[in-house]
Every structure is written in C-alpha cells, then in structure tokens.
Structure 1
Amino acid sequence: MFALELCVIVAVFQVLSPVECRLTEIETACRALRGLVVRAASLLAGGAILLWARPALRDDLRRLSAAGGSRLWPILHGLGLVLIFLPVMLVPQDQLNARFEAVFTGLASGAALAAVAGLFWIMPPGRWLTWLRMHRFAPLSILALALVIPDLAVALEPLWTIDLLSRLTFFAVAVTLSVIGGNVLVQPEIATVGVDGFNVQVASQCSGIEGFALIAGFLTIYAILFRDTLRPLRFWGVVLPLALLASWVFNVIRIAVLVQIGAHVSPDLAINGFHSFAGWLFFTVLALAVLVIVQAVPWLHRRAGAPAETVPPLRQDWVAARIVPFIVFMVSGLVVQAFFADPALGYPLQAAALALALLYFRGAFTALEWRLDPVALGAGALIGLLWIVTAPDPAPGADAAIAGLGGVSLAAWAACRILGTAVLVPVVEEAFFRGYVLTRLDSGTWASRVAAVAVSSALFALLHGRIVAAGAAGVVFALVMLRRGRLADAILAHGLANALIAAVALWRGAWSLI
C-alpha cells in the first residue's frame, strides 16, 4: 500500500502537475523534497529485499506487529496524505511554480506526518526498538545502504561526461524510433532526435548512469544478504554486466517511448516523464525484477537458491489478493492516461489487466461466501439510481471519441466497458476499500468502526470525483458488508449498482455517466 501511495505521489507531481524546481523560488528545497521521494523508493525496495532474504526478521516483524496498536496512526497517516495532495487541489495548475513556497509547507509537513505515522501504523515505537534489539540492529545497516543509493548516482555524475556512452544512447534511441516509424529527425551534432515535430536533446544525463547506480546498489544489498549461498564470481562476472546492459536498454526504450508520447499524445506529459523523479521508480522496479530472476537461477547459488523458509505463493495471500488488483487498477489507469488522447478508448486494456489480476487471485475470491442477499441487492439498486439521478449533464463532446468508433469496434468496446464496470471493478474496489482498508481500521469498537467507515468511504469518494454521491455509496457498501461480515455482499451491491448505471449509459449512449 505504501508503494502504491508513492507511485500516486509521483504520478500527481511528476506527470499530472507542472511542478518544475528550477522555476520555483526555492529550487534547493524543492530538489531536496524530490530527493526524499527517491530515497523513500530506495528504502522500500531495500526493506523488501531484507525481509525476503531473512525469514527470521520477517517472522518476528509479523509476530510483533500482529498485536496491533493505536488506531490514531492510520488516521494521522491519512491526514498526511491529505496535506500532500491538498496544494494540488487548492492552487491552480498554472500557479504551482510561482506559489511553490507556500505549497512546500503542505508537502513537507504532509510527507513527514505520513511517513512517521505509516511507520508506527505497522508497529508502535517500542516494538520497533524490540525488533531491532532482537537482531542486534543489523537491519539498520542494510536500510542505511539502501538510503544512500541515490548518493551513489550523484557520485557517478562525472561519468556523464563519457562521450561514448552518451553517443551510444543517442544513436540507439534514433534507431529505435526509426524501427517504430514516423518522420524521424536525427541531428547528431547537437544530440537532438525527434518524431513528427517533437524533438528532444539526448543530453549526457540521459545516458542511464542513474539506472547503473540503482542496479549496482541493489545487487550489492542482495550479495550481502545472500552471501552464504551466492557464487560471487558468477554473480559479479555475469549478472552485473547483463543487469547493467538491461538497464541501458531499458533507458533507451524509455526515451524512445517518451518521444513517441510527446509526438502523438502530450508534449507536457513526455517532458515530465524525462525527469529522474519518474525514472527512478522504473529503474527500481527493473532492479527488483533482476534480483527475482537471479534468485530463480540455481547456477548462481551453491544451493538451489530458495529462501530458507518456504514462502506460500503470492496468489494464496489474502492481503495481496485485496491490494494487488487495486494496484493494477491504478497503474493501468495511469498507463491509459499516458498513451491515449482520450483515455476512455483505452479502457479495454485496463479491463484486460484487471481480469488477469483477478484470475491470478481467483482462489481467494472464489472462497468467499457468495449468496444472494435481498438487502445487498436492494442497497445496490438504490445506489445505482442515486448515481443516475444526481449525475450532472455531460460536457459537450464528452463521448465524441467513443461515438467515432465503427460498429464492430464500438460493440467490442461497449462489451469491455460493461464487463469491467459491472463485474471487474466492483470486485477490485470492494476488496481494497472494504475488504482491506475498512477491516484494517476496524478494531471492533464503535469508535474505530465509525472511523473505518468514514476513512474508507472518503478514499472511495476521492477516487470517483463525485464526492457526495460516491461518499454515500461508500458508506452504504460498508454497512452492507458489516451487516453480515461478508465482503461478497458489498461486491454484489456494488456490482448491481454499476450494472444499472452501465445499462442506462448504454441506453442513452452517454458513457461519461459511468
């Protein structure tokens, strides 16, 4: 969940907002705050590797955190997130840079509150100290190493001056764009390349050194933690060069894709995507993927390379089943926003991603107690009618792109839209908001239950835009689940509500209703 929050923060402030440190009056403070996000990503990844490699650490953490703690911490964590996003909602987009000094206060205080409260939401301070003492504070050394990986990238900045690497990156991008197609412009003398009028300069900073730093840093952490089973000569002699090559190729593809986005989708979106803020997250995911592959190759280990403890498959983890599909939902939405001029046209891709995620966790969801409940169905019908009746008039041309589809294409798109709306989305959203968020906050007392319903419904409302109607729907779905303690009841209510809305949208041809 924290990783998802970090991705959303990156998307909002890197992709969807025109925040540019060099255009603010406090450039140094802005860059420092951006660096904190990079360090947070490195710290999360380093912690994940640590708990993966040391089952004893993970088991003790699970045991100590299972006792629970104050319900104040998740509330404070949510308040911190509100403070982070509040400036974007209150300050006009075109004034964010000019008024960033005031915006900075909300961002910095919100980040600090969300980070501290999130840490103590997992476990109170005393239990964190107990956990560290049990393992002689050894986790701190690995976490500290993860924390300074961004500094490794800074230390490698002199390598940006290596002309050969920069030129190789430039020509590789040019070749990739030529393969993709379009009117490609190549000007080697000024390192400029472009497609159909959108041109960028592939500067030395684009050579992929930051990716090299991430790969090297996380490989080092992995080598330290798995030193008892790892074959060092094979690991450093084979894996490191291949991983660096993969990082460089990934960087070339990233630049080429961003140029295509700038030429055919949104220049602003492409320019924002060049910033290291987003690139660090992509390279972190790549580094973790390399480590997963390394762990699965017996040739690199003295033993089979499996962890000392047999970990149940991810698909059997009920917590993951409630969270991962929602992460897929959010990430696929960002991808559709990036690659489609009208995101509605990309909905079939998002629906396919959700279907695959739910198929992977199908065992967890088929195990739910599925029974038709008249109260749940009645509540769903009520919410569906409320959503339809209170819907604002659609903006002119809101469904123009969909209306422009041909007969077969429109029928296929509509089928995907209805399936996603009435079946896939209710399962994903209810599993996360009611199945995870609400149950995590509900300790059984009336106060905690009211807070759990309020927080989960507020988050649900923020996702859907229409705050009042969506907030009311969230409260109703929460009460439906709490009535018999069945997540399936909330899913059925949500599914019926969405099915009614989808039916009216199909009848009217007003897909913006959904």
Structure 2
Amino acid sequence: MGCGRVTRIDPALRHQFYKLMVLFALEMLAIVLIFQVFSSVECRLTGIETACRALRSATIRILCVGIGLGLFIWFRPNLRRRLVTAADTANGEARRWWAVHLIGLGLIFVPWLRADSASLNADFQAHLVTLLAGAVLAAIGALFLLVPRREMSTLLRDGGGGLALVVLVAALIPDLADALAPLWWAFRGLILVTFYGVAVVLAVLGFHVVLSPETATIGTEGFFVEMAGSCSGIEGFALTAGFFAIYSVLMRDTLRLGRFWLIVFPLALLVSWLFNVLRIAVLIMIGARISPELAVNGFHSFAGWLFFTVLALGVIWVVQARPALHREAEVAEVAPESGARMPFREDPAAALIAPFIVFMLSGLLVQSLWQAPAQGYPLQAALMAAVLWLFRKPLLALDWRLDPVALLGGAVVGVGWILSFRGGPAPEGVSQLTGAALTGWVLCRVLGTTLLVPVIEEGFFRGYLLQLLGGRSAWQTALAVGVTSLAFALLHGRVIEAGLAGLIFAGIALRRGRLGDAILAHAVANGLIALTALLTGDWSLI
C-alpha cells in the first residue's frame, strides 16, 4: 500500500475516534478479567459445557477479529481518515448507538453483579441469554460508533478482498492455536526447555525450587503446577503468526518481507517463548506468596490470550518503528496526522474519562495483589490522586462556586444512604490492621471516599456520559439521565439507593449546567457516609 502523507483533519475528531478505540479495548479487557480471571467460570461445572465453550471461543474470535480490523484501519491511512472524519459521536444517531452499547454492556455485567463465583457456574444457563443479548447489543453499538452506517459501504468497498482476508485470518487464529497444540506433547524438548527455564527464573529470584521432571511439575513454598497445555504458550505462537501475516499483507509494498519472515518472525517466536516462561514464573510466585486462586486463574487460556496479544502487537510496533525493515527511507506513516495537538493532560474529555478508567483498573489491580483487597485501598487512592493531579488543569477550570441546592441534595443522598443501610459484611482484612497501618488506611479511605471518588465518578457519569447521551429534546435528556443513573447504580451494588442518588446528582448537574455542583453534592453525601463509618467503625457502610 502507499504510505504518502495524509491531509489534515480535525484534531478533535481524531482524538475522539482514537479514544473510542481505547475505551472499547479496555471494556473487552475488563470483561475478560472479570469473567475469566476473577470469577472462575468453569464450563464443565455449568451444565451446558458445549454452549459455554462456544461462547468462550466466540469471545476469543471477537478479540482477534477486532484487533485485525484495528490493524487494517490503522495501516490504511485514507480509510482511517475517512472513518475518523465520519465518527462524530455528538450527533443524534451516535447517541442512539451509545445507548445500545451501554445497555448491552450493562447486561453483560448483570450476572457478575448479582452472583458470586460458585453461583455463576451453577446458574450459568440462566445467565446465558443475558450474556448473549448483552454481547450482541454492545458489539453492534461499538461497531456503528466506530463505523457509522453511512460509511459501512465505504469500508466494505475500499477494504475489498484485503478486508475479507484480514477478517478470515484473524478469525482462524484460535484454530491455528488448536492445530499447534499437539506440538507441545509431540516434542518433549519443548516441555523440558520451558520447565527448566521457569526453574532458572525462580532460582535467580531467590526461591527454593522443587522439581519433578518425570511429571513436569514445578513449584515453591507449597504451590506447584504441572506443565500442561495451559503452560504451553501456544496461544502466543498462533497470535504472532496470525498478526504477522495480517501485518505483512497490509505493509507488503514497503516491508522487507525476507528480513521480516526469516529474521524477525523467529525472534518474535523466541520472545513469545521467553515471555511465557516469565509468565509461568510470576504466576508461581503469586500462588506461593499472594493467592493460589488468582495464580490458577492466571493460567486460564483467556489470560494467556490477553498477555500474548499485547506481546504480538508490541512486536509489530517495534517492527514498524525500525527503518531497516522497510524499503523506504521514511517509515510507513502511523504517526498522528499533522495538525496542532492539545496536550493529553489538558484535554477536557480525557480529564473526565481517564480518571474513571484508572479508578476501575486500580480496583482490579488491588484485587490481584491482595488476598484481602480492602487492605490495598491506599494504593488505589494513590493512583486516583495521581491521575487527578495529572488532569488538574482542566478540572480546576470547572465552575466550583458553592451551590446551596447541591449541598442540600448531597445531604439528602447521604442521610438516605445511611438510614436505608441494612448491614453488610465488614471489609476483609481491615480488622487485622493496627496502629499506624490502621490510621493510614482510615485516612486514605475517608479522603478517597470524600474527595477523590466524587470527582472521578461525577466526571465520568454526569460530565461525560450524560452530555454524550443527552440531546436537545426532553426525551433524549430523560433517556440519558436514566441510562447514566442505571450504570451508576450497577457500579455501587445497592441498585435502588444508588439509582436514586444518580437521579439526584444528574438533576443537580443539569439544573445550572455545572458539573462542579454534582461533584459537590456527591462529596457532601460521601462525606456524611464516611463520617458515620468513622464514628461507628462500620466500614461496610461505604
């Protein structure tokens, strides 16, 4: 393909398009982590193993096809420019697709919000329809947000046979992994090399390694794993081969194919193998020192697909940046188009979205690193504070004048939350903290709940989503308020109380069109709740 420079397009639309792609990628990551790493869904325990495995396989294929399409659009500058220009998420049609996408996303998370790991397996058949409906709606909404309906024919026409080939290759990557899987058992040397590679890594890090070469079992400090198929890293080989094939087709006019396949490809497979050795070593360390359950889930095939996808894309990024691998002196253009670029930390939209993403991912991080996740809240608070500091300029530019109605609304929400509370389990691990550790935890919890969380949650729900989904008509505003309040409620567990709180915060934000009023109301509510928890010692209230 040609690699000439592209004409200038509106930077705001370009940023909007790229942020959509990042947001959808993070949503896919969250879905996989929640259902396949933290929820321990086992198809053999669901009673509908075939349907469960089909859904799992479909999820992997969607991941591969989505990345394949992303590569296709990225390395087709003219098509990318056309789609970026068309992807105006502020128009009425886009708002409807946003609603479809968010409703679908909500349906996907309903089973996780309403059930624990054990009941997810037992009741999976009842959840299957909800999951399938949510997946279809979320995928359709995301597709038409990235590629408006009027541009769909352009994508199909301009993509032509190349687009069909990319989709086919990407969809067959899981089948390639299945085809390569027998190699793990056919070549005993591959097992042994991986086995002793993990042992060396653990020994270098100071662990006392216990080996059983006869059964290919390795472990330390009471946690052992057998080098079975989940340790093979075959997913990495399949992903590397599949994405390399797509990349080589897209860049065939500039890429030095001989060097790429004879030198880079074998090196990429070696890097994938080394990465797999490190992955196994890290999971064994997690199992020995932190959480055996988390380590076992980390060996799940979905976790492997995610790890190796990131690795394969990273190798492609390195290849794209190396002029020696391209026939032209100027590397094929993947840099942003010309035009003034607003610094990311000063982007008002990023200031509303990025802190919420950090907030959600920090929660997953804390659950990964602590057996009692509540003990890790200081780390989560530190990450929240850091991202808010990064975006301090656009956040400080908000109208922060005091509003008596916001103060009153926040007080009503806080008192209502406290009076309607019927008790709950205490945060695990907090009772074990004493002295300075307990004081530090309480300080982080109170400040995080009162000051950090209101800015992050209101910025995303009332600052970004409400404005994105809202419109000029009353019914569009009502729909936006309902959708954002429902999403807010699902996040907080107590659906009725949190839903009413979301309605009040939305009304306060819309009353004078000031996000600062909603943040103030939320801070007052959370402050009353935190104060009550502090005085009573009942941290389950928060």
Give the TM-score of the pair, scaled to structure 2. 0.83
After superposition, give the CA deviation of every residue in 1:236-257 in whole Å (9 maximum; x if it has no partner).
4554444333332332232233
Looking at structure 2, the residues matched to 286 and 148 of structure 1 have their Cα atoms a distance apart, in angstroms, of 19
State the match for 1:469 in structure 2.
Answer: 497
Looking at structure 1, the residues matched to 334 and 233 of structure 2 have their Cα atoms a distance apart, in angstroms, of 32
How far did 1:376 drift? Answer: 2.8
Structure 2 counterparts to residues 288-437 of structure 1, below 5 A? 288-297=313-322, 300-301=325-326, 302-304=329-331, 306-307=333-334, 309-310=337-338, 312=341, 314-315=344-345, 317-395=347-425, 398=426, 401-437=429-465
Structure 2 counterparts to residues 52-131 of structure 1, below 5 A? 52-66=74-88, 67-69=91-93, 71-88=95-112, 93-94=117-118, 96-97=120-121, 100-123=124-147, 125-131=149-155
How far did 1:297 drift? Answer: 4.7
Cα pair 1:41 1:284 within 8 Å, conserved: no
Bigger shift: residues 351-360 or 198-207: 351-360
After superposition, give the CA deviation of every residue in 1:203-259 in whole Å (9 maximum; x if it has no partner).
244121211222332233334434455454555455444433333233223223333
Aligned residue among 64, 68, 93 for 1:42: 64
Structure 2 counterparts to residues 24-43 of structure 1, below 5 A? 24-43=46-65
Looking at structure 2, the residues matched to 480 and 150 of structure 1 have their Cα atoms a distance apart, in angstroms, of 49
Q: Give 1:341's aligned amino acid.
A: Q
Matched, 1:275 2:300: yes
- SS of equivalent to 1:186: strand
Looking at structure 1, the residues matched to 519 and 319 of structure 2 have their Cα atoms a distance apart, in angstroms, of 39
Q: What's the RMSD between the two structures over aligned residues?
A: 3.1
State the match for 2:19 in structure 1.
Answer: none
Aligned residue among 173, 182, 188 for 1:158: 182
Bigger shift: residues 67-76 or 421-430: 67-76
Q: Give 1:493's aligned amino acid.
A: A
State the match for 2:476 in structure 1.
Answer: 448
Distance 1:202 1:478, change over 3 A: same
Q: Give 1:149's aligned amino acid.
A: I
Looking at structure 2, the residues matched to 4 and 159 of structure 1 have their Cα atoms a distance apart, in angstroms, of 33
Distance 1:469 1:91, change over 3 A: closer
Matched, 1:133 2:157: yes
Q: Give 1:450's aligned amino acid.
A: A
Cα pair 1:388 1:513 within 8 Å, conserved: yes
How far did 1:334 drift? Answer: 1.4
- SS of equivalent to 1:148: helix
Bigger shift: residues 306-315 or 334-343: 306-315
Bigger shift: residues 66-75 or 38-47: 66-75
Structure 2 counterparts to residues 470-489 of structure 1, below 5 A? 470-489=498-517
State the match for 2:12 in structure 1.
Answer: none
Bigger shift: residues 9-18 or 327-336: 9-18
How far did 1:34 drift? Answer: 0.4
Cα pair 2:47 2:122 within 8 Å, conserved: yes
How far did 1:141 drift? Answer: 3.8
Bigger shift: residues 230-239 or 265-274: 230-239
- SS of equivalent to 2:69: helix
Cα pair 2:240 2:312 within 8 Å, conserved: yes
How far did 1:433 drift? Answer: 1.6
Structure 2 counterparts to residues 492-507 of structure 1, below 5 A? 492-507=520-535
Cα pair 2:378 2:441 within 8 Å, conserved: yes
| Corresponding residue pairs, total | 512
How far did 1:171 drift? Answer: 1.8
Looking at structure 2, the residues matched to 310 and 245 of structure 1 have their Cα atoms a distance apart, in angstroms, of 37
Q: Give 1:222's aligned amino acid.
A: Y
Cα pair 2:399 2:516 within 8 Å, conserved: yes
State the match for 2:5 in structure 1.
Answer: none
- SS of equivalent to 2:463: helix
Q: Give 1:157's aligned amino acid.
A: A
- SS of equivalent to 1:199: strand
After superposition, give the CA deviation of every residue in 1:349-389 in whole Å (9 maximum; x if it has no partner).
22233334334444443443444333333333332333333
Distance 1:418 1:35, change over 3 A: same
Cα pair 2:385 2:452 within 8 Å, conserved: yes
Looking at structure 1, the residues matched to 470 and 363 of structure 2 have their Cα atoms a distance apart, in angstroms, of 29
Looking at structure 1, the residues matched to 125 and 533 of structure 2 have their Cα atoms a distance apart, in angstroms, of 44
Bigger shift: residues 35-44 or 232-241: 232-241
Cα pair 1:47 1:143 within 8 Å, conserved: yes
Cα pair 1:80 1:109 within 8 Å, conserved: yes
After superposition, give the CA deviation of every residue in 1:477-499 in whole Å (9 maximum; x if it has no partner).
21222223233332333233333
Distance 1:401 1:110, change over 3 A: closer
Cα pair 2:98 2:469 within 8 Å, conserved: yes
Give the TM-score of the pair, scaled to structure 1. 0.87
After superposition, give the CA deviation of every residue in 1:50-102 in whole Å (9 maximum; x if it has no partner).
33333432332233232541755444434433443444566775455455444
Q: Give 1:33's aligned amino acid.
A: L
How far did 1:181 drift? Answer: 5.1
- SS of equivalent to 1:14: helix
Bigger shift: residues 101-110 or 231-240: 231-240
Structure 2 counterparts to residues 228-307 of structure 1, below 5 A? 228-232=253-257, 235-236=260-261, 239-297=264-322, 300-301=325-326, 302-304=329-331, 306-307=333-334
Cα pair 1:399 1:510 within 8 Å, conserved: no
Looking at structure 2, the residues matched to 80 and 399 of structure 1 have their Cα atoms a distance apart, in angstroms, of 31
Distance 1:98 1:406, change over 3 A: closer
Q: Give 2:180's aligned amino acid.
A: L
Q: Which runs of 4+ in 1 moved over 6 A?
A: none
Q: Give 1:377's aligned amino acid.
A: L
Cα pair 1:69 1:123 within 8 Å, conserved: no
> Share of identical aligned residues, percent?
53
Runs of at least 5 residues in structure 2 that lack an aligned partner in the other structure: 1-22
How far did 1:38 drift? Answer: 0.9
